[in-house]
């Protein structure tokens, strides 16, 4: 079972929140999203105080959310602002009648919702190179039947690519590669120091033989993974993923692909989209099977030195859940070796 962490989570795309309210489950909380009179997205618990009706089945009127059962209306703070069946002489107890509301921010084509016990201390994560000159990008949205940790570890795990994605990244020549691990209180990163240039079909499409490569994998609390491939010809390819737990065993992943390649963006985009979708669906099928095994046998896992980031992801998330993160923790750096 995943731990709950305070933080910003993607609940929907901007295009999905139109005139009608929509229902979303974010970190186990069932929410209704709607746009108020000035177009800002509001997030409330999807439950009317009166008879428990789904507010997401209602409509938006004058920037407020109207319940479809008796017409009770709620503002963006979750306060009841109208009870039509009440007579004029009966006072409206809006100050005492309210449902939970959640901070939101519309950023980079997505609606982020803050789920936490205290107000947010910082804005949501920003996808690297989004909208920057010279960079192409697109988003993919995928649902995994797995835990958040299983998804994050998979996205940042290198050895599995030989077996799960044969021929797409590397051929598995099993060269000894050193990795430098850098860890602080909120993140952990692996930098591969002498990794051979990728030999799979994807890299061969875009990078000439002999191109030097720098590869880093990173995790950021609460649920962000980032993979960077930078090359000696001043080109780069990035995969950044944000995980939002819907319910136990169901995770909605937003993946941002960004690139600076020596080919026109309009040519790269359809090729990269098809390539990345194929890779992700391979992981979807694999993680579903692991989830089924975990349900049957429990989370009995063995970690090795080649599993570079898994243990650190688990410990960072546990510390965050326990409230034991130390912002003044010293940065630790160490090296591991593995065959790729």
Chain length of the chain:
340
Examine the pLDDT at 286 and tell me if it is beyond 90: yes
The encoded tokens of residue 39 equal: 């177009």
DSSP 233-256: TTEEEEEEEEEEEEETTEEEEEEE
User: Can you tell me the mean pLDDT for 277-284?
Assistant: 97
The encoded tokens of residue 197 equal: 């240039």
pLDDT at 145: 97
Q: Is 35 left (phi over 0), alpha (psi -120 to 50) or beta?
A: beta
Q: What pLDDT, in 10s, does the model give residues 86-131?
A: 887 677 766 679 999 999 999 999 999 999 988 999 999 999 999 9
Domains of the chain: 7-115 (2.102.10.10), 136-339 (3.90.380.10)
Going by pLDDT thresholds of 50, 70 and 90, the confidence category of residue 329 is confident
CA distance 78 to 144: 31
| Helices (H), ranges, 227-309 | 265-297
Going by pLDDT thresholds of 50, 70 and 90, the confidence category of residue 3 is confident
Task: Give me the chain's average pLDDT, please.
Answer: 91
Examine the pLDDT at 1 and tell me if it is beyond 60: no
CA atoms within 13 A on the CB side of 309: 34
CA distance 231 to 188: 22
Examine the pLDDT at 202 and tell me if it is beyond 70: no
Q: What pLDDT, in 10s, does the model give residues 172-188?
A: 667 889 999 999 999 99
Residues 99 and 49: beta-carbon distance below 8 Å = yes
Residues 251 and 257: beta-carbon distance below 8 Å = no
pLDDT at 263: 78
Q: What pLDDT, in 10s, does the model give residues 144-167?
A: 999 999 999 999 999 998 899 988
Report which of residues 304 and 233 the model is more confident about. 304
Asked which of 77-91, 138-152, 233-247 is least confident by mean pLDDT, the reply is 77-91
Phi, psi for 44 (deg, rounded to 5): -130, 160
User: Which pTM was predicted?
Assistant: 0.93
CA distance 149 to 147: 5
CA neighbor of 172 nearest in space, from 158, 154, 157: 158
Q: What pLDDT, in 10s, does the model give residues 40-71?
A: 999 999 999 999 999 999 999 999 999 999 99
pLDDT at 142: 99
Rounded to the nearest 10 degrees, the angle between the axes of helix 148-155 and helix 310-322 is 140
């Amino acid at each position: 079972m995943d731990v709950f962490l305070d933080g910003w989570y993607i609940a929907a795309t901007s295009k999905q929140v139109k005139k009608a309210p929509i229902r979303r489950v974010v970190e186990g909380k069932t929410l209704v999203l709607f746009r108020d009179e000035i177009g800002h997205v509001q997030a409330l618990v999807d439950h009317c105080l009166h008879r428990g009706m789904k507010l997401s089945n209602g409509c938006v009127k004058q920037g407020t959310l109207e319940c479809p059962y008796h017409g009770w209306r709620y503002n963006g703070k979750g306060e009841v602002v109208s009870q039509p069946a009440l007579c004029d002489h009966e006072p409206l107890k809006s100050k005492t009648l309210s449902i939970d509301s959640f901070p939101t921010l519309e950023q980079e084509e997505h609606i982020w919702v803050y789920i936490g016990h205290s107000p947010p201390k910082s804005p949501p994560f920003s996808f690297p190179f989004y909208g920057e000159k010279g960079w192409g990008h697109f988003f993919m949205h995928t649902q995994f039947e797995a835990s958040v940790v299983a998804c994050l570890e998979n996205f940042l795990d290198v050895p599995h690519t030989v077996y799960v994605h044969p021929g797409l990244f590397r051929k598995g020549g099993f060269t000894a590669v050193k990795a430098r691990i850098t860890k602080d209180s909120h993140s952990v990163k692996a930098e591969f120091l002498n990794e051979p240039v990728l030999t799979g079909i994807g890299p061969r499409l875009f990078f000439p033989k002999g191109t030097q490569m720098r590869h880093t994998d990173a995790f950021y609390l609460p649920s962000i993974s980032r993979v960077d491939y930078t090359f000696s010809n001043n080109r780069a390819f990035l995969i950044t993923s944000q995980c939002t737990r819907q319910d136990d065993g169901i995770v909605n992943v937003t993946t941002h692909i960004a690139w600076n390649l020596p080919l026109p963006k309009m040519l790269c985009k359809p090729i990269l989209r098809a390539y990345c979708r194929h890779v992700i669906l391979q992981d979807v099928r694999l993680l579903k099977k692991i989830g089924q095994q975990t349900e049957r046998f429990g989370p009995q896992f063995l970690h090795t030195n080649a599993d570079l980031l898994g243990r650190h992801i688990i410990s960072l998330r546990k510390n965050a859940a326990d409230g034991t993160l130390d912002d003044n923790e010293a940065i630790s750096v160490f090296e591991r070796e593995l065959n790729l």
